[in-house]
Structure 1
Amino acid sequence: MTDQPIPVIIDCDTGVDDALALLFAVRHPGLDLRAVTCVAGNTDVDGVVRNTLTVLEIAGAGHVPVARGAERPLIEPARSARHVHGADGMGDLPGLPTPTRAPADVDAVTLLHREILACPRPVTLIPTAPLTNIALLLRTHPDVVRNIERIVFMGGAVATGNATAVAEFNVWHDPEAAAVLLTAGVPITMYGLDVFQRVVVPGPDVRRLRASADPAARLAGDLLAHRPATPDADGDDPGGGIGDAGAVCTVVDPAGITTLPLPVEVSLAPGPTRGQTVVDRRPRPGESEIHDGLRPRHLVDVALDVDVNRFVKLYLDTVEGTAQKPSR
């Protein structure tokens, strides 16, 4: 039991909902955001760096080191999600300031290695992006595992994908990197689309954030409004999904999700299943394992359900500055 904030590092591709996650991580008193690393995904990596620096400055966290990472997946070319996140990755919101500082003078893998090992307590790593930086870190510096408490990643899906019928974008963007993550040898929580898409801030709350005098809360409202998730009864007051921020909420309040430890593999073969997270929910091995021999099964705490109201309240309380540090 400790009252100390949880040391966290976010690896992101900022991105509308990555920005929502950063705002939450900076604001919550129970988190100690020690670094942010950037990877190509929602937009190109240089745009991700720019967006990340901008969000941190608006949130009053200009001291947090930021590093540029991989500009493409391990094998395939980069494929952005600008059709979702806008040409600039931040919903093309007008009036966003240009960052006043440059990123760190080291690459993302070097910064991750340095910050993880320098932390006096084990770090919780929160990737909300394609997992290229994380795979490179684990293969280049496997010694980091000794000071990683847990990896909570936004990615994958038990049921339906979004990049394809079965594959979620972050895993689909770099399936080989996701496969490396799943053999990291540390506890892993998968916050996938099954819960990601359900946590929606109601329209009236979005409007209140957008009218706030606090620049960080106002930015959260504008970002939520960019990605309307559900209309109200009249259809004119849409709510906005917090997306990646739910993975950070999970670190603060793990009881807000329901998980099961399940074997997870990533489909790497070309074709319609590439990038699928194959989550084995069977109670016992099947004929394939019986006849072909049991392979090592990497268990992941897979999020299957989420307390939506609990996470919405947690997010709003945090970005509006009323959240209390949890007792653990």
Structure 2
Amino acid sequence: MTTKIILDCDPGHDDAIAMLLAQGNPEIDLLAVTTVAGNQTLDKVTRNALAVADIAGMTEVPVAAGCDRPLVRAPRVAPDIHGESGMDGPQLPPSVREVDGRHAVDLIIETIMAEPVGSVTLVPTGALTNIALAVRREPRIADRVREVVLMGGALHRGNWSATSEFNIIVDPESAHIVFNADWPVTMVGLDATHQALATPEVIERITAIGNGPSRFVVELLEFFAKAYRESQHFASPPVHDPVAVARVIDRSIVRTVGVPLDVELGNGLTVGMTVADLRAPADDASRTHAAVDLDQERFWGLIVDALERLDDRLLTPEE
């Protein structure tokens, strides 16, 4: 059986790869893509999502724009990592499709309420504004969602501050709502995603595929690698967002521990910190889990396999 997901994202280089993985993997039924301001402004990330949808052959998947700012705080974006377009590097032609007329929050709610209870997994890979508003506007979705598998946070150190990861610190109030809603949450944070390194060997594997989607990913990674070297001193860039999708595809690829999680909402040095109570032993029955380890070889195998399959979908979109 396939797993139905809604991918809420802010493309973004690694969000784009997450979209391609979700569309290309046969274990995933991608119900919708929704966008939120984060890596860049809403209009830019939505344009990017539509372009990636074209590349992936997402002919039946709605793409809807959502919130253009955090719940409380001033917007902030990440041009030093993703460029002024939000996805610098590849030359993106204008999309041949239009954005869905519904607001992302409405699309999320309508989709979850229309599907059987426990069948839809939410996969947010950007700020959690859309997800927080959806569960506040329609609290019943908390009982209907299978789980929330989000990319964000960290158990130990941050990337946007000493203690905070970018997706959480841009809208910590929304993150607090999502972490404390009555649904299962898996935090796929920096502890695992910093292991998803696009090394030269990985880029060689993707280059060897030789189709349109793989060439697009190579162009993404070339810019991403340069940005990460200059801004965060990584020899190879970590590709964060597809790790959350990989966790949904095969739970054994991303090892997690059950641990209480919450979000710091103050305005001091720890704002946006995802606080894990590590005093007690790990509890598999915990409502919240945190990713701690990644099987890198199997993870990149999923990416390569999805990119190979996407070429066939582009050639035969009616299938």
* Same-fold call, TM cutoff 0.5: yes
Task: Tell me the amino acid that sits aligned with residue 174 of structure 1.
Answer: D
Deviation of the 1:265 alpha carbon: 1.2
Residue 145 of structure 1 and its aligned partner are, at CA, apart by 1.9
The reply to whether residue 96 of structure 1 matches residue 55 of structure 2 is no
Instruction: Specify the alignment match of 2:302 in structure 1.
Output: 314
Structure 2: distance between partners of 1:211 and 1:98: 27
Distance in structure 2 (CA, Å) of the matches to 1:214 and 1:126? 27
Q: Tell me the distance in 2 between the aligned counterparts of 1:169 and 1:5.
A: 31
Return the match for 2:50 from 53, 75, 85: 53
Contiguous gaps of at least 5 residues in structure 2: 229-234, 311-319
Alignment equivalent of 2:241, drawn from 226, 239, 244: 244
2:73 maps to what in 1? Answer: 76
Which residue number corresponds to residue 143 of structure 1? 140
2:313 corresponds to: none
Q: Aligned partners of 1:208, 1:199: CA distance in 2, in Å? A: 15
* TM, length-normalised to structure 2: 0.89
Name the structure 1 match of 2:270: 273
Of residues 216-225 and 81-90 in structure 1, the stretch that sits farther from structure 2 once superposed is: 216-225
Distance in 2, Cα, partners of 1:14 & 1:62: 18
SS, match of residue 34 in structure 1: strand
State the alpha-carbon separation in 1 of the partners of residues 308 and 184 from structure 2: 31
Partner of 1:253: 250
In the TM superposition, residue 146 of structure 1 has moved relative to its aligned partner by: 2.8
Distance 1:306 1:208 in 2: 19
The count of aligned residue pairs is 298
Equivalent residues of 1:13, 1:39 under 8 A apart: yes
Output the CA distance in 2 between the equivalents of 1:217 and 1:314.
13
Displacement of 1:159 in angstroms is 0.7
Residues 224 and 28 (structure 1), Cα distance of their counterparts in 2 relative to 1, 3 Å cut: same
For each residue in 1:81-114, what CA deviation from the matched residue of structure 2 results, as whole angstroms up to 9, or x when unmatched?
A: 1110011011242x21111122111101110011
How far does residue 64 in structure 1 lie from its aligned partner after superposition? Answer: 0.8
Query: Could you tell me which amino acid in structure 2 is paired with residue 96 of structure 1?
Result: L
Quote the residue 1:287 is aligned against: none
Q: Which amino acid aligns with 2:238?
A: G
Identity of aligned residues (%): 39
Is the Cα contact below 8 Å between 2:123 and 2:148 reproduced in 1?
A: yes
Is the 8 Å Cα contact of residues 10 and 125 (structure 2) preserved in structure 1?
yes
1:304: which partner in 2? 292
Matched to 1:13, the amino acid is D
In 2, distance between residues paired with 1:9 and 1:181?
A: 15
Deviations 1:235-270 (A, max 9, x none): xxx754322001100100111122111111111011
Match of 2:223 in 1: 226
Amino acid at match of 2:162: A
1:116 to 100, 112, 117: 112
Q: Which whole-Å CA distance do the structure 1 matches of 2:197 and 2:81 have between them?
A: 17
Q: Aligned partners of 2:15 and 2:266: how far apart in 1?
A: 29
- The answer as to 2:194 corresponding to 1:206 is no
1:106 counterpart = 2:102: yes
The counterpart of 1:185, out of the listed 176, 182, 186, is 182
Measured after TM superposition, the shift of residue 202 of structure 1 is 3.1
- SS of residue paired to 1:163: coil
Q: Secondary structure at the match of 1:241?
A: coil
Match of 1:24 among 18, 21, 28: 21
Structure 1's unaligned 5+ residue stretches are 232-237, 285-297, 323-328
**Higher Cα Rg, which structure:** 1
Calculate the aligned-residue CA RMSD, in Å: 1.9
Contact 1:203–1:240 under 8 Å retained in 2 = no
| CA deviation after TM superposition for structure 1 residue 208, in Å | 4.7
Secondary structure of 2:88 counterpart: coil
Cα distance in structure 2, aligned partners of 1:304 and 1:159: 10
TM-score by length of 1: 0.86
